[in-house]
A and B are shown apart, each in its own frame.
Chain A
Amino acid sequence: MRTFALAGNPNCGKTTLFNALTGATAHVGNWPGVTVDKREGVYKKGGEHIAIVDLPGIYSLSPYTPEEVISRNFILEENVGIINIVDATNLERNLYLTTQLLEMDVPVIVALNMMDEVERSGDSMDVAALEAALGVPVVAMSALKGKGVKELMARAAALPETRKGSTVLKSMAREIAALVGHFESERVSSPLFHAVKLLERDELELARRGAESALYAAVSGGVKSDERETAAAQNVIDYEAEIADERYRYISENLAPAKARSASAKTMSRSDKTDRVLTHRIWAIPIFVAVMFMIFHLTFSENLFYLNGFTEGQAWMPSLVECGLAREIDGEVVYNNFGVELLAVFYDGAVFSPGVILTNFLNLFLDHISSGVVTLMENGGAAAWSVGLVGDGILGGIFAVLGFLPQILVLFLFFSLLEDSGYMARIAFVLDRIFRRFGVSGRAFMPMIMGFGCSVPAAINTRTLADEKERTATIRVIPFFSCGAKLPILTAVAGGIVAAFGIGNADAITFSMYLLGIVAAIVCILLMRNTTLKGETPPFIMELPTYRAPRLKNLMRHLWDKTKHFVKKAFTIIFASTVVIWLFSHLDWRWHYLPDEQMNESILASIGMFIQPIFTPLGFGSQLGTFGWVFAVATITGLIAKENVIATFTTLAVCIGAYLGAGTEDGVEELTALISAIQGTTGISTQVFTAALISFIAFNMTTVPCFAACATAKGELQKGKFKRTLLFWLASSYIIGAAVYTIGAYVWPLALWLALIAAVTALIVLRNIGKFDITKIFKRKGRAEKSEVKQ
């Protein structure tokens, strides 16, 4: 089976073509650099199967960004064919990469993509002329519409196995020939490619043995008679500039004219108009804030557009109980009939947002399954323990997690819309000025905002950042951008606080927790960029893609992908974890089965109680008494997958006391019951307990992320940086949790924390302006910090 690699500029339709060829559902976005790892698939529609590798999008084969190095090494080492995708609407810059790829000794075919857009704008393209000029096959196509894909693959399959590299660089033919001779004698494959790179003084080539002297010999030509040669030998001729210049000159003189423009730049007009509004001098930032607010409002709000007033007091729409359609029995709402239950999905005293409606709908469905199964088992005479394991353990845990799928999907849908439309790139453009103050470029915005979805792709996406220190700092703060799996912790605990104490607003608590994460990320980046990861602010030279209407097919593919991933996780890792948690919470050390009432004697409880004191400074340790260990256990299980935190609560809380009937599956009622139980046994004050619960959210949100995210971060970070990163996560989340708890519970420690922040800032500033050597004092400061935490 032959292998072809897809190579091309970012945002030129590579991933769309990859999907069209392999039927895979890889993620496509309108942001330069969405594909950052190589993916593989097989094209099966032709006569013989062809393996396809999707490489990261690159502009060049320079040695400066990891993705360019990945692509370059892959092509050279694997010796595969190249399908070079060229965006026909942006021929000049796309062909720049083509001229470099052609220098390699591998078969190349050019896929002239987005021809439909070129035709729609009334332009035409002379494909035959382009083919003649490049010397390799060129196929006009549209990956999106699936046009020309068959022809492309048929011609690719017919390409000879080998091809000799060719170059457009004529003015320095003598130097190149000399270096080609050198590489041929060293038996290096693709000598022409290496020769040109060495002439550019490419770091990777210069590192080779004998490269420096070969370069010297080649540019001086052995005889120092000619003025030009002497100049070259002394590094006066700037080959790097000349090579880039000559490539572009060749393209604009010979290749770009293949495209005939019908009318001058009228295609840009609609994109221009959109842009004028979205990056407006005054309105750009308010629009950005409004867009972000709307996204969260439409996903989480239980009072859509504040139709029912901003606060409880102003409410003018009656709740279902007030309408007489439902009754409240022991704090639990019982609906008169199924019709009312269905109505409650959409409305209960206020109109719900789409995200909440979908969640309610799914939960209604899951509730009925869950209670149906339990009834069936009880009627069938199943043992009490097996009903408990299935009902509370397995179904309770999995459904608690599945119940959040709708909101996660809605959030994802909005972020995909931003990405596909090209607005995300503009956000980076608008915000770069702000980000630069913290020592990162606007590009770092993308991985961070992706962190709201999932830390794993976010960490991989940091490869688009060229600066290693910026990358490390970004990877470390990604978990602070609360991911989809942490959302259940936020909503369930916030919902629990509101339900148990009757104070606050779950919406507001959730939103402020997101804000806390963002602030923590900013502070930590500032801290790192001024201490351990000091360096200049990395460059911000980025393409701004044309605005495009998002494609429904793309969006649906993306959502389907996410759903599959999530459901798979729910039924594997989380399924296994909930079973283990349930078993360990119902077995004692002598492996005897314990009924729910005796759970405090279980293996899990004793482990939880053992580690419980660690969390005392954060408010959810020893002070929570007999049931406090549940919080400790939830935190630990969260290290496997963050969905586990709420799954643990649901599994355990259901069993704690007889506080509950069949609750909803979103964890709120279980938590409410747990909170009341704890308050009942310890008599802890509402203010202190609320602070402790918020500290619990804050700690879980900012601490060591799930297993998958840790593994990804380890792979993406430079060697040896991962241990420190783990330490960073533990320390920062512990400090944040302690601060939230102490300030929330007693207020006065605020002064202590402010003093600490002022002291640390002063020390760093003094050190950075070189006033004194700080190493000794720094150690003392670490101790001071710890003693403060204990307050």
Chain B
Amino acid sequence: MEKPLSEFKPDECGMVVKVGGEGRIRRRLFDMGITPGAVVTMRKAAPLGDPVEVRLRGYELTLRKSEAACVIVSEEDAE
């Protein structure tokens, strides 16, 4: 099932299918390793509900929900 990364719950995991968004945000997401095929795990949301923290390619990345909404991920079973 495909859904935006922003709708993932903590510990849910999936593979990036598509990255949308405006030029600069999109490029930044690519550079930080969010490319099609990358496996992303949702870690948690910040205390105020936004931004979120995800784990990918062996490190922790934080991004806002509005930015995570640009990333379409196909859900996988947790490892």
Contact = CB atoms under 8 A, between A and B. Distances in A.
B24 A64 contact: yes
The binding surface of chain A is classed by DSSP as helix
Nearest to A288: B47
B48 A248 contact: no
A93 B58 contact: yes
A92 interface: yes
Given A540-B67, A543-B61, A544-B61, A93 B19 contact: no
Given A244-B30, A244-B31, A245-B35, A433 B46 contact: yes
Interface string B23-47: 0111111111101111000001011
Nearest to B38: A248
B9 interface: no
Given A90-B58, A541-B62, A541-B63, A241 B35 contact: yes
Contacts of B46: 279, 284, 429-430, 432-433
Interface in A54-77: 59-60, 62, 64
A434 B49 CA distance: 11
Contact of B59 (A241, A434, A543): A543
Given A248-B37, A285-B47, A434-B48, A541 B25 contact: yes
A240 interface: yes
Nearest to B25: A539
B2 interface: no
A540 B53 CA distance: 11
Contacts of A285: 47
A280 B26 CA distance: 29
Contact of A281 (B30, B47, B67): B47
Given A279-B47, A282-B47, A542 B35 contact: no
Interface in A66-107: 89-93, 96
B27 A240 contact: yes
Interface in A430-462: 430, 432-434, 436, 442
B42 to A, nearest CB: 14
A125 to B, nearest CB: 13
A293 to B, nearest CB: 18
Nearest to A536: B22
Nearest to A63: B27
B18 to A, nearest CB: 9
Interface residues of B, number: 32
Nearest to B60: A544
Contact of A432 (B29, B33, B37, B64): B64
Given A92-B57, A93-B59, A285-B47, A541 B35 contact: no
Contacts of B27: 60, 62, 64, 240
A357 to B, nearest CB: 36
Contacts of B25: 539, 541
Contacts of B58: 89-93
B11 interface: no
B50 A432 contact: yes
Nearest to B28: A541
Given A244-B31, A249-B37, A429-B46, A539 B64 contact: yes
Contacts of A62: 27-28, 31
Contacts of A434: 48
Interface string A242-257: 0011001100000000
A790 B19 CA distance: 57
A95 to B, nearest CB: 10
Nearest to B24: A64
Interface string A502-543: 000000000000000000000000000000000000011111
Contacts of B24: 64, 466, 539
Contact of B36 (A90, A245, A430): A245
A241 B36 contact: yes
A245 B29 contact: no
Interface string B1-18: 000000000000000000
Contacts of A244: 30-31, 35
A543 B29 CA distance: 11
Contacts of B59: 90, 93, 543-544, 546
Given A245-B36, A433-B50, A542 B31 contact: no
Contacts of A279: 44, 46-47, 53
A196 to B, nearest CB: 14
Nearest to B61: A543
Contacts of A91: 58
B47 A280 contact: yes
B53 A544 contact: yes
A174 B65 CA distance: 39
B37 to A, nearest CB: 6
Contact of A96 (B31, B48, B49, B64): B31
A446 to B, nearest CB: 14
Contacts of A64: 24, 27-28
A244 B67 CA distance: 18
B46 to A, nearest CB: 5
A540 B64 CA distance: 6
A12 B10 CA distance: 28
A90 B35 CA distance: 17
Given A241-B30, A430-B47, A544 B62 contact: yes
Contacts of B30: 240-241, 244-245
B31 A429 contact: no
A60 B49 contact: no
A89 B57 CA distance: 11
A210 to B, nearest CB: 23
10 contacts: A62-B28, A64-B27, A64-B28, A90-B58, A245-B35, A248-B38, A539-B24, A541-B62, A541-B67, A546-B60
Interface of A: 59-60, 62, 64, 89-93, 96, 240-241, 244-245, 248-249, 279-282, 284-285, 429-430, 432-434, 436, 442, 466, 539-546
Given A248-B38, A542-B63, 14 more contacts: A59-B31, A62-B31, A64-B28, A90-B59, A245-B35, A279-B44, A279-B47, A429-B53, A466-B28, A539-B28, A539-B64, A540-B63, A543-B62, A544-B61
Closest 8 CB pairs of A and B: A244-B30, A60-B31, A433-B48, A544-B60, A92-B57, A284-B47, A245-B35, A541-B63
